[in-house]
Structure 1
Amino acid sequence: MKLSVVILNYNVRYFLELCLRSVEQAVKTIEAEIIVVDNNSPDDSCAMVKQLFPNVKLIENKENHGFSKGNNIGVAQAKGEYLCILNPDTVVAEDTFSKVLDFAKSHANLGIVGCQLLDGRGKFLPESKRHIPTPKVALQKLIGNSKNYYTTSLKPYDIGKTEILVGAFMLLKRDIYNEVNGLDEDYFMYGEDVDLSYKVLKAGYDNYYFGETSIIHYKGESTLRDKVYAQRFYGAMEIFYKKHFKKNVLISALVKIVLSLASKRNPVNESGVLIKKETIVISDSIDEELKNRINSPVTFTSNVKDVQTQAQVILDTEFLSYKAIIAFIKTNNTSKQNTYRIWVKSSNFMLGSDSSVGRGEVVSF
């Protein structure tokens, strides 16, 4: 088997369904398996997977083991030559895996490959490619200088080496994952992707950013981004520093300063009020039920060129491919002040996110 896609889920039933629908389309031409590990979600995620995706291997944990252990449980049952660790709040294009696998097969000494991540409004997420967050680099970022935190030498569409990749999408050989003992279970949530990327580098492999395919990552769907988030995130970074950096007085003092400042800092909120003039539904048919659910003027069109500025755009997955949806959102991103919802017509829900730091919205009907 060529590929095992491992998706760890916790309480994001609708995002998981959309993710699985896109992944099923993306593995149609690949010898692949899809493994969902559920960390004891209180919603009906597991029932949904059993009903709608009978070919998906579902692992139902009886407790929430966290990100690292949950994924390791899934990888232990994987059979693919390659693994893709994938977040449930993502949407992939039909050719995402085939493109990344072709790139992986053509590069020797390859470690982890990541791709271009976009938020729900098509904005590029710079954490798609990062440098090692040494205490000095982390402190620089904390005071507003991100030059040495992100791999700014690579543009979003570029291909090239980078040190750290994000856990929302990480593709690598299963043998390499096992060689470095997988995700470190000392981390419950956050920091695991940094640690894995760094371990792969230390093992002598090269990590790559592959900017020729884009996926949507609805950030923050599994957790609220508040002070608790900040404390957990920087607590994870403390684990990273203790494991990988030599202990000396200067480093220890710098780490304490970074963590103290960071844990007290409020997460950044995106400013600006989005004014939505109308709703435009891109579909090949008019749906009265959807129309009745929307409290603004609604236009149904099959021509994507009809989209105006300051509109909420609803994209029908039965009319548009996932690749076309991702490309449309990326092309018509924040410059038009539009917001986007992906409509899964057969399941009567739509979802999207208007912010890189807040939770998304699900509307079921």
Structure 2
Amino acid sequence: MICSLVFAGYPKKSYFAKPFQHIVILSVIIVNYNVKFFLEQCLCSVRKSILQQKELSSASEIIVVDNHSTDGSLEWLSPAFSEIHFIKNETNTGFSAACNQGLKKATGKYLLFLNPDTILPENFFQVCISFLESNQTAGAVGVRMIDGAGNFLKESKRGFPSPWASFCRLSGISSVFPRSRWFSYYYMGHLNEHQTHSVDVLSGACMLATKAALEKTGGFDENFFMYAEDIDLSYRILKAGFSNYYLPLTTIIHFKGESTRKDRQYIDQFYLAMDQFSQKHMPGNRFFHSILRTAVRVRSGIAKVGQPIRKEIPNSKGSKIVLEGDANSAREVLRPLELMGIKIVSTEEESDKILFCEGPGFPFKKIIEFIDKKKGRKRFRIYAAGSRSFVGSDSSEEPGEAISIQIIK
């Protein structure tokens, strides 16, 4: 594998700290693979959340590891985000290895591993870092996550895949008793999603860890190419004497369908990773491994036959959209959308979709709150002020929509 580090070049007045010149409080590590439009919106939200905290604005760094994307991600993003460190891989090294690449370059006291198809509210770092600073035993925190349609994502808080928890999940028993501590421990269904809890497992889609915890655990296990690597790291953080916390004081959007494609390769890799985790941490339980492998093969076969692998990506062209949010941002996109054949309507009742226009008058936090509140009523799309695209997803199980727009000055 040949890797080259690409520095886009800092502006004369950088928003963020230059490495090795200042004490860095926060490092954000994002692994990207062919989702440049989603990543653009993600970076806009990360930038706003950092700038919201004065102490972070001069003491933060963002590292994007591109895992051999073929969609021109770096060419698209580098000019607009010159303060970011871009690492370009010549091969797809897998999620764990790419995260560790970023980790080796990171110098922060706190390190956020973040998926590229996420949107953060402006108070994200203030809430999470304050919690870590006031809880010295905390090794990592995760937050409440919703998908692009506003549905709560159960993987925001999880238990370890013990033999019984794994059996209940794979057999479908947990879906019959979603609030049971006994039958739904894998997703910790007995814990209130709106309350802070100490949990076993945090999602790798959004995990803010302390440098002290990662120095003891050594980062991600690169034997996990994709999936279960967050379970493994969470387990080792606990074994090192720290605690993992689920913190619902702030909510993020994780579109999920973009970074987690539900195709046959995903199905095989996911269940293989579950077996891999059990082999690593429960090596003596041969009976459990045989039961798990059988359940994996059955569940994988059912999923391949019974679940549609891909649906047509929803397209906003020709649809009716109502613009909500910041007035200036709405004016930015109005004419470009009309030129694309999108009809702009004045009320939600007339519309097929709501396009939230982020800006000073309508921040990301408010957009997330609206989507959380209005879930199931409409399809939502998000446009960050000054960006060149808008994105959205109607289900965490399917790929979303990402459309490039040409802003007319």
1:41-60 Cα offsets, whole Å, 9 max, x none, are: 11111123320111111111
- Relative to structure 1, the CA distance from residue 107 to residue 309 in structure 2 (aligned partners, 3 Å threshold; closer, same or farther) is farther
- Relative to structure 1, the CA distance from residue 308 to residue 101 in structure 2 (aligned partners, 3 Å threshold; closer, same or farther) is farther
Q: What is residue 348 of structure 2 aligned with on the other side?
A: 307
1:249-279 Cα offsets, whole Å, 9 max, x none, are: 3222222222222321317579xxx9x9942
Q: Which stretch shifts more, 148-157 or 176-185?
A: 148-157
Q: How far, CA to CA, are the matches of 2:229 and 2:272 in structure 1?
A: 12
Q: What is residue 321 of structure 1 aligned with on the other side?
A: 363
Q: What is residue 339 of structure 1 aligned with on the other side?
A: 379
Counterpart amino acid of 1:313? I
The alignment of Structure 1 onto Structure 2 pairs a total of residues equal to 353
Deviation at residue 179 of structure 1 after TM alignment: 1.1
Q: How far, CA to CA, are the matches of 2:351 and 2:243 in structure 1?
A: 42
- Relative to structure 1, the CA distance from residue 133 to residue 316 in structure 2 (aligned partners, 3 Å threshold; closer, same or farther) is same
Q: How far, CA to CA, are the matches of 2:350 and 2:126 in structure 1?
A: 34
Counterpart amino acid of 1:314? L
Deviation at residue 345 of structure 1 after TM alignment: 5.5
Equivalent position SS for 1:265: helix
Q: How far, CA to CA, are the matches of 2:156 and 2:366 in structure 1?
A: 21
Q: How far, CA to CA, are the matches of 2:105 and 2:299 in structure 1?
A: 37
Q: Which stretch shifts more, 254-263 or 230-239?
A: 254-263
Q: What is residue 254 of structure 1 aligned with on the other side?
A: 291
2:250 to 210, 213, 231: 213
Q: Which stretch shifts more, 132-141 or 119-128?
A: 132-141
Deviation at residue 166 of structure 1 after TM alignment: 0.7
1:120 to 148, 153, 173: 148
1:133 to 149, 158, 161: 161
Q: What is residue 357 of structure 1 aligned with on the other side?
A: 397
1:75 to 83, 98, 103: 103
1:177 paired with 2:235, answer no
Q: Where do 1:82-97 residues align within 5 Å?
A: 82-97=110-125
Q: Where do 1:1-365 residues align within 5 Å?
A: 1-28=24-51, 29=53, 30=56, 31-146=59-174, 147-266=184-303, 278-283=320-325, 284=327, 285-286=330-331, 287-296=334-343, 298-300=344-346, 307-308=348-349, 311-318=352-359, 319-334=361-376, 336=377, 338-344=378-384, 346-365=386-405
Counterpart amino acid of 2:355? I
User: Does the CA contact (< 8 Å) of 2:38 and 2:117 recur in 1?
Assistant: yes
User: Does the CA contact (< 8 Å) of 1:158 and 1:211 recur in 2?
Assistant: yes
Q: Which stretch shifts more, 70-79 or 226-235?
A: 226-235
1:293-341 Cα offsets, whole Å, 9 max, x none, are: 3555x324xxxxx53497410011235211111111111111x2x1001
Q: What is residue 15 of structure 2 aligned with on the other side?
A: none
Deviation at residue 178 of structure 1 after TM alignment: 2.4
Equivalent position SS for 2:274: helix
- Relative to structure 1, the CA distance from residue 158 to residue 149 in structure 2 (aligned partners, 3 Å threshold; closer, same or farther) is same
Deviation at residue 182 of structure 1 after TM alignment: 0.7
Counterpart amino acid of 1:120? G
What's the C-alpha RMSD, in Å, of the aligned pairs?
2.1
User: Does the CA contact (< 8 Å) of 1:136 and 1:254 recur in 2?
Assistant: no
Q: How far, CA to CA, are the matches of 2:320 and 2:301 in structure 1?
A: 40
The sequence identity of aligned pairs, in percent, is: 36
Equivalent position SS for 2:247: strand
Q: How far, CA to CA, are the matches of 1:27 and 1:347 in structure 2?
A: 18
Q: Which stretch shifts more, 185-194 or 196-205?
A: 196-205
Q: How far, CA to CA, are the matches of 2:33 and 2:136 in structure 1?
A: 35
User: Does the CA contact (< 8 Å) of 1:227 and 1:264 recur in 2?
Assistant: no
- Relative to structure 1, the CA distance from residue 125 to residue 269 in structure 2 (aligned partners, 3 Å threshold; closer, same or farther) is farther
5+ residue gaps in structure 1? 301-305
Q: How far, CA to CA, are the matches of 2:43 and 2:336 in structure 1?
A: 25
Counterpart amino acid of 1:234? Y
Q: How far, CA to CA, are the matches of 1:345 and 1:208 in structure 2?
A: 33
Q: How far, CA to CA, are the matches of 1:104 and 1:307 in structure 2?
A: 40
The alignment's TM-score, normalised by the length of structure 1, stands at: 0.91
Q: How far, CA to CA, are the matches of 1:94 and 1:24 in structure 2?
A: 9
Q: Which stretch shifts more, 216-225 or 238-247?
A: 216-225
Q: How far, CA to CA, are the matches of 1:57 and 1:324 in structure 2?
A: 29
Deviation at residue 38 of structure 1 after TM alignment: 0.9
